[in-house]
C-alpha cells in the first residue's frame, strides 16, 4: 500500500478541495486527509473555522476518494501524524505555505523517504475557501 497524505483546514468543502484530493490520490493508493485542529486554524488564519474539526472531518469522510480522515493533534504537533503513518508522499496545495519548512526539515533530519508533491491549483479565482467565505459573509 502506498499512502499519500494531505493536510488542511477544509472548511466548507468545495470543488477545489476535491480536485486536491484527486491529484493527491494519483500518487498513491491510500489517501489520508489530516484535518487541522480548530486552535491551529485560529493561530494560522487569525480566526476559527466556520465548522468545527469534527464537522469538517465528517464531510470529508463522505468523499469516496478519501480512504482515511485523521484529526491533527490538538497539541499543535503537526508531525505526530507523519511519524505515526509514515506516508510515502505528502501532497501540498498550490498555496500551502504553513508547515512546509518544518516538514522538509523533519524529512531531512530523520532520513525519511517521504516525497513532497506540490499540487496544481483548480480555478483559484472561484474555488478558494477564503473567497467563498468572504462572498458568503456579504449576503
Note down the domain range covering 97.
Answer: 3-138
**pLDDT value for 132:** 46
Confidence (pTM): 0.86
Return the H-helix or E-strand segment holding 95.
Answer: none
Higher-confidence position of 127 and 82: 82
- Give tens-digit pLDDT for 38-75: 998 998 889 999 999 999 999 999 999 999 999 998 87
CATH code, domain carrying 92: 3.40.50.620
Residue pair 60/33 in contact (Cβ under 8 Å)? The answer is yes
How far, in Å, CA of 62 to CA of 77, rounded? Answer: 26
Q: How many domains are there within the chain?
A: 1
- Taken as a whole, the chain contains a residue count of 139
Strand order in the sheet with 30-35: 68-71, 30-35, 3-8, 89-92, 115-118
Return the H-helix or E-strand segment holding 85.
Answer: helix 80-85
Q: Confidence band (pLDDT; 50, 70, 90) for 29?
A: very high
For residue 136, pLDDT beyond 50: no
Amino acid at each position: 500500500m502506498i499512502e499519500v497524505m494531505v493536510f488542511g483546514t477544509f472548511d466548507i468543502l468545495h470543488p477545489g478541495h476535491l480536485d486536491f484530493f484527486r491529484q493527491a490520490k494519483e500518487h498513491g493508493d491510500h489517501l489520508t486527509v489530516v484535518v487541522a485542529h480548530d486552535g491551529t486554524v485560529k493561530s494560522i488564519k487569525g480566526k476559527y473555522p466556520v465548522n468545527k474539526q469534527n464537522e469538517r472531518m465528517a464531510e470529508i469522510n463522505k468523499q469516496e476518494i478519501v480512504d482515511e480522515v485523521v484529526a491533527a493533534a490538538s497539541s499543535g504537533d503537526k508531525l505526530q501524524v507523519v511519524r505515526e503513518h509514515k506516508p510515502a508522499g505528502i501532497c501540498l496545495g498550490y498555496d500551502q505555505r504553513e508547515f512546509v519548512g518544518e516538514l522538509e526539515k523533519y524529512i531531512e533530519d530523520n532520513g525519511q523517504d517521504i516525497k513532497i508533491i506540490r499540487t496544481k491549483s483548480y480555478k483559484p479565482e472561484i474555488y478558494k475557501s477564503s473567497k467563498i467565505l468572504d462572498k458568503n459573509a456579504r449576503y
